[in-house]
């Protein structure tokens, strides 16, 4: 998240986000999906989006009433789990446009959606488990209180990984990156993402 410290900076940042004509704004997301075209390594998804009757959901709308939406994607890795005979794919994503739920809808339209996405993807919400003493995802702390252990399998595996923009006063390039909690091998993203090529050219 970016916060302006004065009114002038806020105005400058808002202008950059509106027109992006300077080519400095970069937003890179990471997502893990269940299914993805096996031969595809990179591409674009250009599907117009509009509000759905089932709010707060949005939907693909090809009737001419939807807002143009564009997502660029690149496959970073494909991971196969031999225990459950299941493959997931790690993607880097550039939302060239910024529509509501754009990345979640676009990925669901091509594959089966993002891991942990119960709104657009194929993952249903996990049933509630009130038996804290027998839940393997729980553990007891020193005072005997049961606390829930963080479980990545139930999380939406969509993460805002990298953001860069021009400083509103000095014009210097500001860059910020962070690794998602659900990722074990950080070398994948540091090795395979060339941040200099991810310029928003809308």
Q: What is the mean pLDDT of each run of 10 residues along the chain (202 residues)?
A: 88 80 76 89 94 87 90 90 79 92 94 89 60 49 49 79 89 88 66 52 40
pTM above 0.85, yes or no: no
Q: What is the pLDDT of residue 169?
A: 87
The Cα–Cα gap between 65 and 58 comes to 13
Nearest to 92 by CA among 39, 155, 139, 159: 159
Q: Within 10 Å of residue 58's Cβ, how many Cβ atoms?
A: 22
């Amino acid at each position: 998240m970016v916060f302006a410290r004065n009114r002038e900076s806020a105005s400058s940042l808002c202008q950059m986000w509106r027109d992006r004509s300077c080519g400095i704004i970069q937003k890179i997301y990471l997502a893990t999906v269940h299914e993805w075209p096996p031969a595809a390594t990179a591409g674009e998804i250009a599907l117009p989006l509009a509000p759905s009757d089932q709010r707060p959901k949005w939907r693909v709308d090809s009737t001419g009433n939807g807002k143009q939406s564009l997502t660029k994607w690149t496959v970073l890795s494909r991971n196969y789990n031999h225990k459950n005979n299941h493959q997931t794919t790690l993607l880097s994503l550039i939302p060239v446009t910024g529509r509501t739920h754009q990345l979640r809808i676009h990925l669901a339209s091509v594959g089966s959606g993002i891991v942990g996405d119960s709104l657009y993807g194929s993952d249903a919400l996990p049933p509630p488990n009130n038996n804290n003493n027998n839940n393997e995802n729980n553990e007891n702390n020193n005072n005997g209180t049961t606390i829930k252990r963080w479980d990545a399998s139930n999380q939406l595996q969509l993460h805002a990984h990298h953001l860069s923009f021009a400083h509103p006063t000095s014009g210097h390039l500001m860059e910020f990156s962070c690794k998602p909690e659900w990722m074990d091998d950080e070398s994948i993203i540091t090795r395979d993402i060339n941040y200099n090529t991810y310029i928003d050219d809308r």
